[in-house]
Amino acid sequence: MISRKSTIRLLAVAAFLIIARLVFDLTSAAAYVYPEFDFGLNGIAFVVFILAVPGVLALALARLFQKRLVEAGGLVIICYFPFSFDEAVDRQFWRFRIHESEYQSIMQADPGPPPKYRVFNWGNRNTQLIGGGVIVEAVVFDESDEIGRWSQEWIEPRPSPSPEDRWITARSDYPSCKRRMKLLGNHFYYLAEEC
């Protein structure tokens, strides 16, 4: 049987790990959305989070040597909690919402015939994966809402894309590249390709 004091300790450790993960998610998203105000807080939050998990595992090992098996098992299980959920902050949607009125006004001022189509390039950045990689991102306004099809019929009426936007209307020849698309609302889509 586990004591009330041990239960409170387990809950406090679980809360600390989950809060550390949420703080890392929030600071990482803020650095993505506002890169000009990134002062490295996400790096500090990452270090705190990464050091907390082995710290809890060391505590579990100490409890195991003290023959407090239930508490040791509880601590090991608690280490899984911060990894059990996806990012808590949708950073792409947050960044889009900040610029949505600007994108809307550009589309309303567009004199072209419907269905309107436009790429708002977000550029590219290096990924943190082992061996490196690159991710290109954009928000695409597609009034026809057929962007997900990538069929020849969808591509043909599109204006010739600029060199940095060609990846949107072309399929990658590299099997290691992964494309993601997410509806942001009002004919806007987030697209990313990671290689």
- Name the band, by pLDDT with cuts 50, 70 and 90, for residue 128: low
**pLDDT exceeds 80 at position 93:** yes
Dihedral-angle region of residue 133 (phi above 0 means left; psi in -120 to 50 means alpha; beta otherwise): left
Nearest to 157 by CA among 185, 115, 194, 127: 115
The dihedral of CA 97, 98, 101, 104: what is its sign? Answer: negative
| Contact call for residues 89 and 96 (beta carbons, < 8 A) | no
What's the whole-number average pLDDT of the chain?
85
Token pair belonging to 94: 């947050």
Alpha-carbon gap, residue 177 to 195, rounded angstroms: 4
Point out which residues pair with 46 in neighbouring strands.
none
**pLDDT exceeds 80 at position 158:** no
Tokens 């004919």 label which residue? 187
What is the predicted pLDDT for the residue at 172? 66
Whole-model pTM: value is 0.76
Token pair belonging to 105: 């006004």
Coil, helix or strand for 116? coil
